[in-house]
Structure 1
Amino acid sequence: MWTADDVARDSVQRQGGGLTAAAVLQRVEEAAGRERETKEQARSGGGFSELGPDPERVAEVWAAKHVEWRRVSDLMVQNG
């Protein structure tokens, strides 16, 4: 089974090709929002239909995606 970090890296690699810095920043913001939402839903016992069978796993994946999109954004800033 893939770790949350593995899922995040794969997702960002598939979605990130050719994106502008502005588009990457939008992805960072989206991931941050999803991370907050899914963590709150997991803590409050979010419904099965909302987050699937493992809400904590969904929250972990969004947290990892947030980190990965920030990493890509930082690299883009550093490399111009």
Structure 2
Amino acid sequence: MPTLLGISKRGDTYLRTLLIHGGKTVVRVADKHDDRRNNWIKELDQCKGKNISAVAVANKNARIAWAVLTKKESYKAAA
């Protein structure tokens, strides 16, 4: 499996900005929810800080969106 990197500064600046803003919002409200993904976000926030956590969430959301669009299927959250 190849090593996955973070969000680069290449590509659409506006789309990257929207993903980061969305990531910041998800990190901000992660403590109000108790599921697998939000627990991962809370742990990441404690270890790395809010900005790095927001970029990690944005990266994950971008990968999910890409997979949904390329496979032309609806999103199925992990149980």
The answer to which structure, 1 or 2, has the higher relative contact order (CA under 8 A, 6+ apart) is 1
Q: TM-score, normalised by structure 2?
A: 0.37
Q: TM-score, normalised by structure 1?
A: 0.37
